[in-house]
Each structure stands twice: as C-alpha cells, then as structure tokens.
C-alpha cells in the first residue's frame, strides 16, 4: 500500500511539473549578483557611449585621456577626473540616465537600467 502511495505521489509531482529539487539549474533574478560595468573615457569619447545594466549594478568610468573630464547627470556627478582616475556610481532604480562631461558638453553617454 505504501509503495502505491509513493508511486502515486511521484506521478502527481511529475505530471504537475514540480521537481523534488526546487529550482535546480534555473536562473532567477533573486539570485543575480550585482556587477560592475566599465566605461573608458578615451579620445574625448565615452566608450561605450551606451550601456545596459540591471538595477543594483555599478558603473565605473576611467579617464584614459591626458586631460581632465567629468561625469554629470541629474542623479549623479563626479569631480574632475585626471588621467587614470575613476568614478563609480551604483544604479538602484530602473530608467534611462543620460550624462555628459561637464567640461566638454559634446561628450555624451547613456546608461539604461533594466
């Protein structure tokens, strides 16, 4: 009788798509580890000029030019970055963030947070 019950239970679990191992092998957003995206400032250009990240991820800008740059947006801004200096910002909210170099307003970039 016990064998029939266990066998019936296994058939029900299998038929309903359940697994005895939960979400084994499946990726979920709750398990996502925040990452850090890098953007180089080189030849007076943000490279890449547009980046897509997830909420909670960070972006680090690194000045590779021989003169100062900055990063300015409505929600964040850096001080002047000389050669080799970096600025990091963590994006907690979804949205599109457009930014410029405050010293060279023709330099533009965009971060899309999903």
With contact defined as beta carbons under 8 Å apart, do 30 and 56 qualify? no
* Closest among 68, 46, 42, 69 to 59, alpha carbons compared: 46
Token look-up 């947070």 returns: 113
34-113 belongs to which homologous superfamily? Cupredoxins -  blue copper proteins (2.60.40.420)
Q: Delimit the domains of the chain by residue range.
A: 34-113
pLDDT for res 57: 98
Query: Computed from CA positions of residues 50, 51, 57, 59, in that sequence, does the dihedral angle turn out positive or negative?
Result: negative
| pLDDT per residue as tens digits for the range 2-60 | 554 444 544 444 444 444 444 444 444 556 788 999 999 999 999 999 999 999 999 99
Q: What pLDDT shows up at residue 42?
A: 98
pLDDT at 51: 97
The answer, as to whether pTM is greater than 0.85, is no
Which residue shows structure tokens 């533009």? Answer: 108
User: Is the predicted pLDDT of residue 67 greater than 50, yes or no?
Assistant: yes
């Amino acid at each position: 009788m016990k064998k029939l019950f266990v066998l019936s239970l296994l058939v029900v679990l299998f038929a309903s798509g359940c697994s005895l191992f939960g979400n084994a092998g499946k990726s979920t957003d709750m398990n996502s580890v925040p990452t850090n995206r890098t953007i180089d400032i080189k030849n007076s250009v943000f490279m890449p000029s547009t980046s897509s990240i997830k909420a909670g991820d960070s972006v680090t800008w690194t000045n590779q030019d021989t003169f100062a740059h900055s990063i300015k947006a409505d929600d964040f801004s850096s001080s002047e970055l000389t050669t080799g200096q970096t600025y990091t910002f963590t994006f907690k909210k979804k949205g599109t963030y457009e930014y410029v170099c405050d010293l060279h307003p023709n330099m533009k970039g965009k971060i899309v947070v999903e």
